[in-house]
Structure 1
Amino acid sequence: MLLSRLVLQGLLVSCIPSTGCAGSILFAAGSHGFISPAIIAAATTAAGENHLLPKQSPATDPDNNQIIEIDGFYFENPSTKCTYASQPYIYKVFSNIDKNVENLFGLIHPNATFTVVGHHPLAGRYHDLKHFYINALYRIYNCARLKYPELYKGTLQYIHAGCDERWSVQELLFEGKANNGLEYKITNVWVTRWEDGKMVEVRTYVDADDVSRMLFDNEIWSNSSTFTEHDDFMPGPAGMPPDKETPAVQSSCREHY
């Protein structure tokens, strides 16, 4: 377990950038339209490999009265006297992400930049929270928990760095049952840069195969079947055809029927 954590830390530290990111300019909310929160995946992590224990009262360090664990979550750096975001502060932001995503959004700057790393439908750069939420989080949310919301669970596994470092790394485990009835257990890693108590830059890591498969299997507009009734216009990313082509199509339809 220690080796796997060290490897993860080394990998993520090598990925932490020092500059901002550009952003997406189109909304792509998926077949369910616009709504609420979500997950982004990386690699499956066994539940036994986290450092969470059964629920218990917060523990403090008797020498300096700092909180060193909450509900079995132990902090690598429990200090709250920090230049940027302390680990206990970050814990409050991410620990209830499955139940109160609005709390998370409240601590992300509206013009924060996001990079979803990889090659898949959600990957790319986003200029602000709204584009990131609609194009990425909301799409995967609708696939991962729309039909079985009672089985959806997100657990904060680790927090690295932060405090006097601008950047922190959060590892979360999401589990539940997708709309198609298949159970999943996936890890989502957020690498975040903090300013004045808010995230201003986010890099998130996802397993391309898991994300692509979940979208394909659960979004009707990208995985149609013989039983799908096509009553709405869904022309794809290129949009509707030019107006000059539409009259010819309409005329052909009138002559046919």
Structure 2
Amino acid sequence: MASAIAHAAGYPTKARIRQIFAHLTKGDAAAFYTHVADNVSWTVMGTHALSGHYDSKASFLSTSVARIGAVLEGPMKLQVRSIIGGDEEEWAVIEMVAQSRCKNGMVYDNTYSWSTRWDDGKIVEVRAYLDGLLLNKALSENENAAS
């Protein structure tokens, strides 16, 4: 019988995924990233400033997360809207919405969909989708203002 934490196949349940992603809701990214493998394969889909492949957690954090974090007033807080998969499936899709504000006052309310692959309770692969036009606007208006 499966527990509330992991299904018999070893993949996290929706309840466990929600627990892990709750760290992002609280703005505690450091606690969330303890559940991401150091050698994660993270691809940010699209044709915007942060799209591309990151071959490690350190690379993703120092490049993508640091860059968007530098233009926001405070930590981005993400609310989970829905979870598809998990339990007996290796992949789970987490849809989230962010309500943030940039340093120039611009509202940065983006929607994210992360297709995540899990192994031994950790995220080992991500394909992330987001509103790239909004991201580019936030970066261009705020990075240029800081220069």
C-alpha offsets along residues 8-32 of structure 1, whole Å, 9 cap, x if unaligned? xxxxxxxxxxxxxxxxxxxxxxxxx
Residue 138 in structure 1 maps to residue 66 in structure 2: yes
Structure exhibiting the larger radius of gyration computed from Cα positions: 1
State the partner residue of 1:199.
123
- For residues 190 and 224 of structure 1, the distance between their equivalents in structure 2, rounded to whole angstroms, comes to 30
Q: What is the one-letter code of the residue matched to 1:180?
A: N
Give the fraction of aligned pairs with identical amino acids, expressed as a percent. Answer: 30
When the two chains are superposed, the root-mean-square deviation of aligned CA atoms in Å is: 2.2
Q: Would you say how many aligned residue pairs link Structure 1 and Structure 2?
A: 144
**2:22 corresponds to 1:95:** yes
* Letter paired with 2:16: Y
- SS in structure 2 at match of 1:164: coil
Q: Are the equivalent residues in 2 in contact too, given 1:153–1:176 (CA < 8 A)? A: yes
Query: Bigger CA drift: 156-165 or 78-87?
Result: 78-87
**How far apart are residue 224 of structure 1 and its match?**
5.5
> In structure 1, what is the equivalent of residue 7 of structure 2?
81
SS of equivalent to 2:50 = coil
Query: Is the CA contact 2:106–2:138 (under 8 Å) kept in the aligned structure 1?
Result: no
Aligned to 1:212: 136
Alpha-carbon spacing, 1:198–1:153, altered in 2? closer, same or farther (3 Å): closer
Q: More strand by proportion, 1 or 2? A: 2
2:33 to 92, 95, 105: 105
For residues 186 and 224 of structure 1, what CA distance do their matches in structure 2 show? 21
TM-score computed with the length of structure 1 as normaliser:
0.52
Q: Structure 2-normalised TM-score?
A: 0.88
How far did 1:141 drift? Answer: 1.5
Contact 1:80 1:163 in 2 (8 A): yes
Unaligned runs of 5+ in 2: none
